[in-house]
Amino acid sequence: MKQFRKFGFVLALALVASTATYAQNLEAVLDSMDHAAANFRSTEADFTWDQYTKVVDETDNQAGKVYFRRSNKEIQMAAEIEKPEVKLVVYADGQVKMYQQKIDTLTIYNAGKNKAEMESFMVLGFGGRGHDLLPSYDVKYGGSETIDGVKTEKLELVPKSAKTRNVFNKIVLWIDPARGISVRQQLFTPSSDYRLAKYSNIKVNQKIADDIFKVKTTNHTKTLSPQG
């Protein structure tokens, strides 16, 4: 009986130590993101996006370059999709603009009342504070993982909002703590679809030309605005 009690005491101490280490690791990752956010001006990177659709068991792949920058208090984003076909997606001034070169069509979406929510998704791991995640997500530390030679710390996010969970019910971020930014992201939907984003050749706080965040069209471009 004494040995059993001793074992139980040792096990309890181990659990307390493990919990403390978990909390320290999580806090360290969030702190690194806070530090990066305080100094954030811009980020650019090469990317691959893998969109998996469970019902047909197929994965669509896109590749290109992505840019983020803080302009005054606004976060702007531009994605130059090069494969499998040329597209440009720009978020600026509360609008999402998608230009499809092949069909010469520009589609404009107004963020409207969803602006804050849209920007919070965009800055996940790119300029957003780590501790700002806590009011909107249950955040779990997922351990360390080396990706392309970079030691990362994994965070698992579960949205607290039912509305957000209807879109993405789980988000995983692989954070490079040295720079406080994400090198990989995976977003899961309730139907078990997911989008896996991988980033490489990441450049932080270098000047990005204004033209990157402007959509260049032709005299024949068709413009659509689904939200009127």
Tally of domains in the chain: 1
| Domain interval for residue 209 | 2-224
Encode pLDDT of 48-83 as tens digits.
999 999 999 999 999 999 999 987 777 889 999 999
Instruction: Name residue 194's amino acid.
Output: Y
Mean of the per-residue pLDDT values of the chain: 86
* φ/ψ bin of 57: left (φ > 0), alpha (ψ from -120 to 50), beta (otherwise): left
- What three-state secondary structure class fits 12? helix
Q: What is the pLDDT of residues 76-127, one digit of tens each?
A: 899 999 999 999 999 988 888 999 999 999 999 887 777 767 767 777 888 8
What's the whole-model pTM score?
0.83
Residues of the chain with pLDDT > 70, as a percent, come to 88
CA distance 50 to 63: 9
Domain CATH code at residue 25: 2.50.20.10
Confidence of residue 13 (pLDDT cuts 50, 70, 90): very low
From 36, 43, 93, select the one nearest 67 (Cα to Cα): 43
Query: Within 65-154, where are the H helices?
Result: 115-122
The CB density around residue 81, as the number of other CB atoms within 10 Å, is 20
Q: Can you give the pLDDT at residue 70?
A: 85
Q: In what order do the strands lie in the sheet with 194-204?
A: 137-147, 150-159, 170-176, 181-188, 194-204, 42-53, 58-71, 74-83, 87-92, 95-100, 105-110, 222-224
